[in-house]
Chain A
Amino acid sequence: MPRLGLSALILCLVSGIVLVFYYRPMGDVFQNVEEITTLVPYGWFFRQVHYGAGQLFVILMLLHTLDHFLRKRYRIYLFKEWVLMIFSLCLCFFVLFTGFVLKGDKEGFFAGQIFMNILEAIPFIGGNVSKLFIMPGDSFFFLPYLYHCFFIPILIIYLIRDHIREWFPNQRFLLIGTVGVFLYALLVKPSIDIPPEASVAVVQGPWFFLGLQTLLKLFPVLLAGLIIPGLFLGCLLVLPVIRTASPVTALKGGIAVVGENGLHYVLVIALCFYGFLTLRAAIWGP
């Protein structure tokens, strides 16, 4: 599964490097994306490969992390490695999300607006934090573009460099995997882009944020957009430390294990609930 992820990552990077030659984050971004899809020779092809391979890479990384989580493999890893894995996964989702924003269509623009407003809802420092990631006005897509094309891909490759070194020697698998992912990516068509000026009754976020969109509908921004996701991530991160950080050795076999198992199941329930919210939003709307 992670080796197939490397194939997807390679395809994603190659197609991304090609797309960067035409894509412009300023001016009419929607028109620029439509030109790539309809006017530029093989533009649709590179966009589709980039979309399909990118989605698959993040899904495979999610399943890879989920596999470690469900089998409680965080017990055998160093805390630092576990933190690194969760952080890398968050970065993968951030790249996928900025890719969704950079489509420049109605969905992408709204996703960017929502992201900016959620960051602004952080008490005291929100206004300043949001300016590090996205700014309103003419250069709305510029910062997400920088993160999507430059900062985060380099950081992800740096963080998973040991993984890549581990997966790379099996070149035959890599070749077959890359061909497989390539064929898969050609079958997965991106959803239809909605022009920014079009009036649409319901606008949906990216599939992985559909659950969050529902939560934002039900609860205040601070709770749904920051506290709930933050709490989930925080619990996921401290999971391996509960046992090892216990000050009393005798507790390590007792209360600490119960605590760790309890938190593990709470997280499993939270994940199931989020999955249910996502499915519900996908079928009946957020």
Chain B
Amino acid sequence: MERRGFIKKGLSWLAYISGAAALAYPIFSFIRFRKIRKKTVVFHPDEQLAAANFKEGIYLIKRGSDFNALSARCTHLGCTLNYDAVSRQFKCPCHGSLFAISGKWISGPARKDLISIPVKTEANGDLEVEFEI
């Protein structure tokens, strides 16, 4: 009798949990869904002149005739980095992390290097940087 009661109780709990999960799963799937969007930042020739050119969350770094792009987001907690032309370093205004112009982490709590993004050259001299947001 006791065992039967235990099984009955267990089954009813199982039914409750399954019911809650069946309801929670679609709700949670709906809430957490996010369409992946891509953003393109275009650097026109007059925006490619400095050693580090900032536009819409991207730093375009000039090395002689070559260019590479770095995400301006600090790898620590996502603040936008400032570029210091004197020391040729990126500095985070929130928690003070420092990065070299190559994107390499120097000091501070970030620990990881900056994210590098491929640069596409257009026929008219524009440089395009495409990344996910």
Contact = CB atoms under 8 A, between A and B. Distances in A.
Interface of A: 110, 113-114, 116-118, 128, 131-132, 135-138, 199-203, 205, 213, 216-221, 286
B109 interface: yes
Interface string B45-86: 000000000000000000000000000010011111010000
- Interface class of chain B by DSSP: loop
6 A-B pairs closest in CB distance: A113-B78, A117-B77, A203-B93, A114-B77, A217-B95, A131-B32
Contact of B95 (A132, A136, A201, A213): A213
A113 B109 contact: no
B37 interface: yes
B22 interface: no
A218 B95 CA distance: 9
A51 to B, nearest CB: 22
Contacts of A213: 94-95
A221 B76 contact: yes
B1 to A, nearest CB: 31
B34 interface: yes
Which of under 10, 10 to 19, 20 to 34, or 35 or more describes the interface residues of B? Answer: 20 to 34
Given A128-B28, A213-B94, A218-B109, A201 B82 contact: yes
A128 B30 CA distance: 11
Interface in B78-118: 78-80, 82, 91, 93-96, 108-109
B31 interface: yes
Contacts of B20: none
The interface centre, meaning the residue of A131, A200, A218, A219 with most chain B CB atoms within 10 A of its CB, is: A131
B93 A200 contact: yes
Given A200-B82, A202-B93, 14 more contacts: A113-B77, A114-B78, A116-B78, A117-B78, A132-B31, A136-B133, A203-B79, A203-B94, A213-B95, A216-B109, A218-B109, A219-B109, A221-B77, A221-B109
B95 A137 contact: no
Contact of B34 (A131, A201, A217): A131
Contacts of B78: 110, 113-114, 116-117
Contact of A217 (B32, B73, B80, B109): B109
Contact of B32 (A128, A201, A203): A128
Contacts of A137: 34, 37, 133
